[in-house]
Amino acid sequence: MFKKLLDRGDFIGIEGETFRTQVGEPSVKVTSLTVLSKAIRPLPAVKVDEDGNVHDAFTDPELRYRQRYVDLVVNPDVKKTFVARSTIIRKIREVFDAKGWMEVDTPVLQSIPGGAAARPFITHHNALDIPLYLRIANELYLKRLIVGGFDGVYEFSRNFRNEGMDRTHNPEFTVMELYVAYQDYHWMMETTENLFGELAQAVHGTTEIPLGEHTINFAPPYARVTMRDAILEHTGVDIDGLDEAGLRQACKAQGIETDDSMGRGKLIDELFGEKCEHHYIQPTFIMDYPTDMSPLTKVHRDKPGYTERFELMINGTEVANAYSELNDPLDQRARFEEQVKLADRGDDEAMFIDHDFLRALEYGMPPTSGIGIGIDRLVMMMTNQTSIQEVLFFPQMRPESFETSAGNADFSSLGVPEAWAEHLVAAGFTTPGDVLGAKPTQVHQRLNGFRKKNKLDVPALSLEEVTAWYSDAESPAS
C-alpha cells in the first residue's frame, strides 16, 4: 500500500518499535510514516549481487561528472574516494599544526601572477580600474610572510591556470604550499617522505598502496636521483659540459623537437620530460635542476649551474616541487632579468618581475625551504585513480545548454486547466514544447500517475482532454 505511493529517492521519516524478523533481519514496526521529500526523477537502479558483480551500473563519464550528486548516491566507491581526499587534507593539517606551523590565507586575486610559469585567467576590478589575475601560485606571498618573521607557514591554495585539460590537469586545482625557515631541501625531502608515509597509513592503514598495475610503496626513505644522473641513465647523454648547441644536438638525436626560443634549461627539461619522467613509478626525488629552469631557487652549494631543487615523481607524474628558497635579493633580481630575456626571445611562459617581492627580499629573508604538493594528484595516487576528474567533485566541463523553462501561465495557451498548470513542471514538463513533444498517451499516463502518487486534489485527466491540447496548440501558433 505504501509501496504504491513511494519511489526510489524519496526521504521518509518513520516511528515505531525495532524488532527482528523470523529470519533475523533488523526491522521497525512502523506506527507512523511521514514523507519528508519526494523524488520526481528516477535514480539509476544499480544492483550488486552476492559475488560483488555490479549490474546496470551508472558509468557514463559525462553523466557521472555533470550529475555528481547522482554518481555519489548510486556509486558507493565514488564516495569513498572523496572521503579519502578529506582524510588526506585533514591529516596534513594535523601533522603541520603539531609542528607549530601556521595555516594562512593569501590573495587569490593578484595584480602580478607570480610564483610559477603559466598562462593566467584575467579579470578586471571596476573600482580600481585595473586588470587582476587569478593566482597561478601563492609562493611569493608565503615567502613574504617568512620575511615578516613567521618560521613556518602553509596554505591550501586553489590555483588557476588557463591551459589545456587532460587526465592530470584541471583549470583549477589545489596545491598545498609549505615554507619553513632555517631548513634546506634535504630536510624537506625527509619531511615529505615521512608525511606521505603517514598519509598512506591514515587512508589505508598500510604504506603499500595499489595503483593501476603497480603497488606503490609510500614507506620512507625514497630514492634520490639527480637530474643529471636520470638523463644519463635513460638517454646516455651527460648534460654536464654540454652548452646550448650541444644540448640541442642531443635532443635532436633523441627525436625531440626543439625551437630557437628554448634555452639550456628548457632543453634539459625536454630531455627529462620525454625520456625519463615516466620511468619513475615508485616515489623518487629528482634533485638538482639547472639554474635557468628554476628562477626562484637557491644555487647549489657545490654544483655550479645547478639549484637545490627537487621534484617528487610518483607513477611517472610530478606530485611535488620543492626548493631551498632563493633568498639572495641580488641573485633573485638577476634571475628575473634572465626571465625577461627569455620572454623577449619568445618564451611566453617566462615569469613576470615582481618588484615588491624583490623589495621584501632586500629586507632579509632567512634561509628557507619550501614545497608545493599537488593535492589532486596526491589523492589520485592514494585512491588508485588515473584521472583528476575522479578526485574533484565537480571537474570542469563544457557547459550544458538548457531550454529556458516557462511560467505556469504559458501552459494555459494549450488549454491546460488552471488547476493542472502548476503541476506540469513538477511532473517533468517544463515547457509547452515538452508536452507537445511527447505523445498524448504518454502525457496522459504520466500526469495521472503523478496525480495519484501525490494525491493531488484535482480532477483526473481523460485521454480526450489531453489530446485536445494538441489541436488547441495548432490554432494560436499559426
Site of interaction with RNA (CB under 7 A): 4, 7-8, 21, 23-25, 42, 44-50, 53, 55-63, 65, 116-118, 161, 163-164, 166-167, 169, 257, 269, 273-274, 293-296, 321, 349, 387, 389, 395, 397-398, 400-401, 433, 437-439, 441-442, 445, 449, 452
* Residue 200 or 237 with smaller CB distance to RNA: 237
> Nearest distance from residue 265's CB to RNA, in Å?
7
Shortest Cβ distance from residue 444 to RNA (Å)? 9
Which one, 85 or 266, has the nearer CB to RNA? 266
Scan for cell 595584480, then name that residue: 111
Coil, helix or strand at residue 199: helix
User: CB-wise, 183 or 294, nearer to RNA?
Assistant: 294
Q: Which is nearer to RNA, 60 or 208 (CB)?
A: 60
Q: Which is nearer to RNA, 103 or 410 (CB)?
A: 410
Would you say 59 or 206 has its CB closer to RNA? 59
Q: Which helix (H) or strand (E) holds 20?
A: strand 11-20
Tell me the closest approach of the beta carbon of residue 403 to RNA, in angstroms.
Answer: 8
Q: Which long-range contacts (CB under 8 A, 24 or more apart) does 345-351 make?
A: 345/260, 345/261, 345/263, 346/260, 346/261, 347/261, 347/262, 347/263, 347/266, 348/119, 349/117, 349/118, 349/119, 350/117, 351/114, 351/116, 351/117, 351/295
Residue closer to RNA by CB (options 11, 363) is: 11
- Evaluated on CA atoms 283, 288, 293, 298, the torsion sign reads positive
CA distances from 308 to 179, 287, 311, 326, 329 (A): 15, 7, 11, 9, 17
CB closer to RNA, 273 vs 417: 273
Residues 321 and 421: their CA atoms lie apart, in Å, by 60
Least distance (Å) from RNA to the CB of residue 41?
7
Alpha-carbon gap, residue 372 to 296, rounded angstroms: 13
Within a 13 Å sphere around the CA of 122, how many CA atoms are in the beta-carbon half?
Answer: 4
Mutual angle of helices 185-204 and 76-98, in 10-degree steps:
140
Q: Which residues pair with 12 in a beta bridge?
A: 35
CB of 219 to RNA, least distance (A): 27
Cα gap 334→339, rounded to integer Å:
9
Say how far apart CA 371 and CA 57 lie, in whole Å.
40
Cβ-based neighbours of 198, under 8 Å, separated by 6 or more: 91, 95
Shortest separation between residue 128's beta carbon and RNA, angstroms: 28
Nearest distance in Å: CB 314, RNA: 16
Strands 152-160 and 102-103: parallel
- Cβ-based nearer residue to RNA, 200 or 351: 351
The least distance separating RNA from the CB of residue 182, rounded to whole angstroms, comes to 23
The nearest distance, CB 129 to RNA, in angstroms, is 29
Whichever of 136 and 181 has its CB closer to RNA, that residue is 136
Contact 207, 197 (CB under 8 A): yes
Distance in Å, CB of 418 to RNA, minimum: 26
